[in-house]
Amino acid sequence: MNHSKPLVGLGIAVVAALALTGCSGGGSGDDEAKGTEAAKLKSLSIMAPYLVTNAPEADNEIEKAVEDVIGVDLDMTWVPNSSYGDKVNITLAGGDLPQVMVIQGKDPGFVRNAEAGAFWDLTDYLADYPNLKTTFPEVQKASSVNGKVYGVFRARDVIREAVLIRKDWLENLGLEIPKTTADLEKVAKAFTEDDPDGNGADDTYGLIIPKWPGTIGTNSPWDAIETWYGAGNRWTERDGELVPNFTTDEWLDAVKFERKLVEEGVVNPDYATFDSAKWNEPFLNGQGGIILDVHSRAAVLMNLFKQSDPENFDAYVDVTGNLEGPDGEVHALPTTGYSGFLAIPKSSVKTEADLRGVLEVLNKLNSEEAGPILNNGIEGETYTLDGDLAVAVDDAPQALKDTSASYAQLGTNVTGFQGYLPKQASDYEQEMYDKRKQIEADDLKVAEFDPSAPYVSQTYISKGAQLDTIVADARIQYIAGQIDLDGLKDAIELWRSSGGDDVIDEINELADADK
C-alpha cells in the first residue's frame, strides 16, 4: 500500500516550468522517430523509494550484478518511502531530475505534469522493445493517463480475490467448497446453524466481514460480491456508455443479497465496526468460517495454525477463487494490476535518441537475466534453487536482504514475472501455493477490469472525496436495515446531482476521445 503523500500541492508555476524544460524532442513514435538511433548511455540515474530501515550502500553487490546485465552504471537516489511523495515534489520543483523516476500513482500532481509535457509519452514507443511490450494490455491501459502511457508500469498480481474457508468445518458437515454465490449462502448458513465445530453450542457464524476503510470499488468483500453478480468493477459499460457499477440493476440485486446475508445472521454482527486488523482472529478461534479477501491471506492463516497446531495445521484452511454469479458466469474481481511506474522526465532526457537509449536499458532491466536479480537477489547468497523454485537463504546478512528488497522497486515484470517463485516449507503448503497460482491463471481469463481506470475526471479530482462517501455510506445503511431500497436509490440520485453526472460525462468524453 502506498502511504506517500500525494503530489496535489505541486504548483501551477512548477508545472509550467517543467513543460518548458521538456519541450524539446517531441513525444510520439511516428515513422521518423522510429528510425531514430538510440543514444549509447554510460550511466542511468534513477530515483526510487526504499521500504526497509536503511538505503542500499553505494556499489553494493546487487547493483553490480544488475549493471553487468544492463551494461551501464546505475546512479541511484534512494528515498525513504515515508517521505517519497515530498521528495518527488521537491525534485520536480527544483528541475534537477533523474533520467528515470519511480512514480507511485496517478495522483493529480503527476497527471498535471504529465499532460503539461514534463514526462515522455511512451504510448507509441514501448511496442518497439520486446521486454517492455506488455502481455497485460488491460493493466497498461489502466495505468495510462487518459489513454496516454507516461511510464512503464510495475506489475503486481492482477487476481488476488478468493474465498478462504474452514476446511475442517466443510468436512464435518459434508459440504463442498462454494462455486457460486448461492453456494456461498448455503455454506454460510450451515456454518451458522449446523454446529460445524461439533461443540453443541450455537457459537459460530459463516462470513467474517470487517469495517472497510475504503469506499465503493476498493476490493472489499461487498465489492467482490457485487462484481460476482455482474455489476462490473467500479465502473462498467451499459448501452455503449461507461457508468458507475452502483447505477446498474445487478448492483442493486447484489446489495439485496448482502442485506439478506446479514438478516439471516450468517455475517458477524459487528461487521460495521469490526477492525480489519483483527480479521484473522474469528477464523483462527473457531467463531467464523469464511473470509472474502486476497488469496495470500491463506498462507498467513496456515502459518498461524502451524504455530498453534503443528501436527494438524493442514486440516484448517482451503481456498477457491471468484464465484459464479446468478447469471451463470464467473466475473472475477481484479486489482489494478500495477503499483506505480517508471517515468522518464523530458528535462533530463531531452531527445528521441536519449529516450530510446533509456528504453533500451529498461528493456534489459526487464529481461530474463536481470529479473531474478531484482526479484530474488544473488543465487547462492540470498537464495538457492530447488528445480525452478527459489529457497531463501535464511542466514543471509540482513543488509543484503534489505538491499535485494530495495532493488525490487525497479522491477516492472510487464511481460510476466521475471524471477523464481518461492519454494514452500512443506508439501501441503506447496500444494496450496500452486492451487492459488492456478486460481490466478483461471480467473484472469474472466477478469472484470475497470473501464474507467485510464481516465481522469476533473470533477472527480475536486469532488471525489465527498462523492465517494455518499453511496458507500448508504450501502452500509441499507445492508444494516437502517434505510430501505428507496433510500438507497435516493443516495444514488444525490450522488448524481452532487457532481456524479458530471463525472460520468467527463469519463465518457475522455473514453470517446481515446477510441
Question: In this predicted model, what pLDDT tens digit does every residue of 298-322 receive, in sequence order?
Answer: 999 999 999 999 999 999 999 999 9
DSSP secondary structure, 48-107, as one string? EEE-SSSPPPTT-HHHHHHHHHHSSEEEEEEEEGGGHHHHHHHHHHH----SEEEE----
Q: Which element (helix H / strand E) includes 207?
A: strand 205-207
CA dihedral 427, 431, 434, 440 (to 10 degrees): -150
Instruction: Give the whole-angstrom CA distance, residue 386 versus residue 380.
Output: 12
Instruction: Give the whole-angstrom CA distance, residue 320 versus residue 181.
Output: 12
pLDDT tens string 160-209: 999 999 999 999 999 999 999 999 999 999 999 999 999 999 999 999 99
Task: Give yes or no for a contact between 21 and 346, defined as CB atoms under 8 angstroms apart.
Answer: yes
CA angle centred on 264, ends 260 and 270, rounded to 5°: 95
Whether residue 24 has pLDDT greater than 80 = no
Sign of CA dihedral 299, 302, 304, 307: negative
Name the CA radius of gyration of the chain, rounded.
25
pLDDT tens string 256-308: 999 999 999 999 999 999 999 999 999 999 999 999 999 999 999 999 999 99
pLDDT of residue 13: 33
* pLDDT above 70 coverage of the chain, percent: 93
Confidence of residue 233 (pLDDT cuts 50, 70, 90): very high
**Residue 259, all three cell numbers:** 442485506
pLDDT of residue 177: 98
pLDDT of residue 89: 87
Q: Calculate the average pLDDT of the chain.
A: 93
pLDDT tens string 66-119: 999 999 999 999 999 999 999 998 998 887 999 999 999 998 889 999 999 999
Whether residue 220 has pLDDT greater than 60 = yes
The strand pairing partners of 119, in sequence order, are: 345
* Beta-carbon-side half-sphere exposure of residue 191 (alpha carbons within 13 Å): 35
pLDDT of residue 34: 59
Average pLDDT over residues 465-492: 97
Q: Which residue in this structure is represented by grid cell 483483527?
A: 278
Confidence of residue 430 (pLDDT cuts 50, 70, 90): very high
Instruction: Give the whole-angstrom CA distance, residue 359 versus residue 456.
Output: 26
For residues 261-289, one letter each, b for 16 or more C-beta atoms within 10 angstroms of the residue's C-beta and e for the rest, the string is: bbeeebbbeebbebeeeebbebbeebebb
Average pLDDT over residues 412-419: 97
pLDDT of residue 33: 46
pLDDT tens string 362-394: 999 999 999 999 999 999 999 999 999 999 999
pLDDT of residue 4: 34
Provide the whole-model pTM: 0.91
Q: What single DSSP character describes residue 233?
A: B
Q: Which residue in this structure is represented by grid cell 517521505?
A: 83
Instruction: Give the whole-angstrom CA distance, residue 156 versus residue 256.
Output: 33
pLDDT of residue 507: 98
* pLDDT above 90 coverage of the chain, percent: 91
